[in-house]
Amino acid sequence: MSEFQLPKRRRIYLMRHGDVTYFDDSGRAIDPDTVPLNETGRAQASAAGQAFAQQGVRFDRVIVSGLRRTVETAQHVLAATGQKIAMEEQPAWQEIRGGRLADIPPADVEDAFLRAFDGVVPEQTRFLGGESIGELLERVLPAVAALRADTSWDTALLVLHGGVNRAILSHAITAGGRTFFGHLAQTTGCINALDVGDAPHDWVVRTLNYAPPTPLHRDVRNTTMEMLYAQYLRYRPER
């Protein structure tokens, strides 16, 4: 009998960006491509960085989607860890793209918000009348494969988005499958830990939705889309 060799795996820390405010005080929707972190989001990002620092985690690669909220989150994380490393942008991991809310019939708006991430989401489902889940998977998963194919790194930090994270986590949970679990909570500023081996199916899910400021999520019982819909109802223009 040959001696057993423990498999060698690399670590992906997958974060969602910190909290942002999508509607201003006048009710105007803020451009999601340029919206900055709010005060809570900055605190969440710094808390995540402190959690990494306390564990002595060092990153070989730091990848953001390129949207401002991911860049700012990564900046706060790196500041807290004291690590100076160039951030890479991966546009394929930008958030799932919604359509124009004004183009959605009023009778369909509630379903558009609340069914987008409801359970195991069919690939033909469109996010707020825009990009479909299938289209999201088509651009997210090849970029995941490319990251895994690069053997130059041991520990990578990915700072991305709620929808994109669900696509990656669903892929990991199904050991390299193609599905989308919309019911995976992704709190702003959260950390997920995933290990990858050499084989495409070799995924180990270590940590899901760890949010350093509120690790037990005591005061949150609603989904991101439910809360976003409540904000929309508060600020929506009269039709």
Residues 56-77 have pLDDT tens digits of 999 999 999 999 999 999 999 9
Q: How far is CA 179 from CA 108, 134, 225, in A?
A: 25, 9, 19
Q: What angle separates helix 39-54 from helix 68-81, to the nearest 10 degrees?
A: 40
The pLDDT value given to residue 226: 92
- What is the average pLDDT score of the chain? 93
Specify if 83 maps to a domain: yes
The pLDDT value given to residue 101: 84
The pLDDT value given to residue 81: 97
Question: Rounded to an integer, what distance in angstroms lies between the CA atom of residue 69 and that of residue 32?
Answer: 9
Q: How many CB atoms lie within 10 A of CB 135?
A: 16
The pLDDT value given to residue 28: 66
pLDDT band with cut points at 50, 70 and 90 for residue 238 = low
* Domain range enclosing 161: 18-234
Total domains in the chain come to 1
Specify if 178 maps to a domain: yes
Task: State CA 14 to chain mean position distance.
Answer: 7
Q: Tell whether the model's pLDDT for residue 223 goes beyond 70.
A: yes
Specify if 5 maps to a domain: no
Q: Tell whether the model's pLDDT for residue 21 goes beyond 80.
A: yes
Q: Tell whether the model's pLDDT for residue 237 goes beyond 60.
A: no
Going by C-beta distance under 8 Å and a sequence separation of 6 or more, which residues neighbour residue 138? none
The pLDDT value given to residue 102: 83
The pLDDT value given to residue 161: 98
Specify if 7 maps to a domain: no
213 or 235, which is more confident?
Answer: 213
Which region, left, alpha or beta, applies to residue 230 given φ > 0 means left and ψ of -120 to 50 means alpha? alpha
Q: Tell whether the model's pLDDT for residue 234 goes beyond 70.
A: yes
The domain spanning residue 158 has which CATH number?
A: 3.40.50.1240
Window from 9-13, 21-25, 185-189, 196-200 with minimum mean pLDDT:
21-25
Specify if 1 maps to a domain: no
Specify if 12 maps to a domain: no
> In degrees rounded to 5, what are phi and psi of residue 131?
-65, 145
How much is the average pLDDT of 159-181?
Answer: 98
Q: How far is CA 175 from CA 37, 62, 78, 170, 194, in A?
A: 33, 23, 30, 9, 11
Handedness of CA 201, 142, 49, 73 (dihedral sign): negative
Could you tell me the pTM of the whole model?
0.94
The pLDDT value given to residue 190: 98
Angle, CA 174 vertex, CA 169 and CA 177 arms, to 5°: 95
Amino acid residing at 191: I
Specify if 162 maps to a domain: yes
Q: Tell whether the model's pLDDT for residue 212 goes beyond 70.
A: yes
> In degrees rounded to 5, what are phi and psi of residue 118?
-100, 105
The pLDDT value given to residue 60: 98
The pLDDT value given to residue 233: 84
Specify if 43 maps to a domain: yes
Q: Which of 79, 82, 85 is nearest to 63 (CA)?
A: 85
